[in-house]
Amino acid sequence: EAGVTQSPTHLIKTRGQQATLRCSPISGHTSVYWYQQALGLGLQFLLWYDEGEERNRGNFPPRFSGRQFPNYSSELNVNALELEDSALYLCAERGPGYNEQFFGPGTRLTVL
Amino acid sequence: AQSVTQLDSHVSVSEGTPVLLRCNYSSSYSPSLFWYVQHPNKGLQLLLKYTSAATLVKGINGFEAEFKKSETSFHLTKPSAHMSDAAEYFCVVTQVASGNTGKLIFGQGTTLQVKP
- Mode of pairing for the β-strands spanning A42-50 and A53-57: antiparallel
pLDDT in tens, chain B (116 residues): 788 999 999 999 999 999 999 999 988 777 889 999 999 878 899 999 998 778 899 999 999 999 999 999 999 999 999 999 999 999 999 865 555 556 889 999 999 999 99
CA A64 remoteness from chain centre:
10
Query: In B10-109, which ranges are E strands?
Result: 10-14, 19-21, 23-26, 31-38, 44-50, 56-58, 64-68, 73-78, 87-95, 105-106
**Residues B22 and B107 sit within 8 Å (Cβ to Cβ):** no
DSSP codes of every residue in B14-32: ETTS-EEE-EEEE-SSPEE
- Residue A28's Cβ-side half-sphere holds a number of Cα atoms within 13 Å equal to 4
Interatomic CA distance for residues B83 and B14, integer angstroms:
9
Q: List chain A residues with CB under 8 Å of B42.
A: 105-106
pLDDT of residue B96: 58
Number of CB atoms found within 10 A of residue A53's CB: 9
Q: Which of A101, A107, A108 to mutate: most B Cβ within 10 Å?
A: A101
Q: List chain A residues with CB under 8 Å of B103.
A: 45, 48, 56, 58
Interatomic CA distance for residues B114 and B88, integer angstroms:
12
pLDDT of residue A76: 98
* Residue A62 in contact with partner chain B when CB distance is under 8 A: no
Q: Which of A30, A99, A107 to mutate: most B Cβ within 10 Å?
A: A99
pLDDT of residue B97: 57
pLDDT of residue B98: 52
- Mode of pairing for the β-strands spanning B23-26 and B110-115: unpaired
Q: Which residues have CB under 8 Å from B71's CB, separation 6+? A: B24
Burial degree of B22 (CB within 10 A; 0-12, 13-18, 19+): middle
Cβ pair A43:B101 closer than 8 A: no
CA torsion through residues A11, A35, A100, B110, sign: positive
Region class of A16: left (phi > 0), else alpha (psi between -120 and 50), else beta: left
Cβ pair B46:A56 closer than 8 A: no
pLDDT tens profile A38-73: 988 889 999 999 889 999 899 999 999 999 999 999
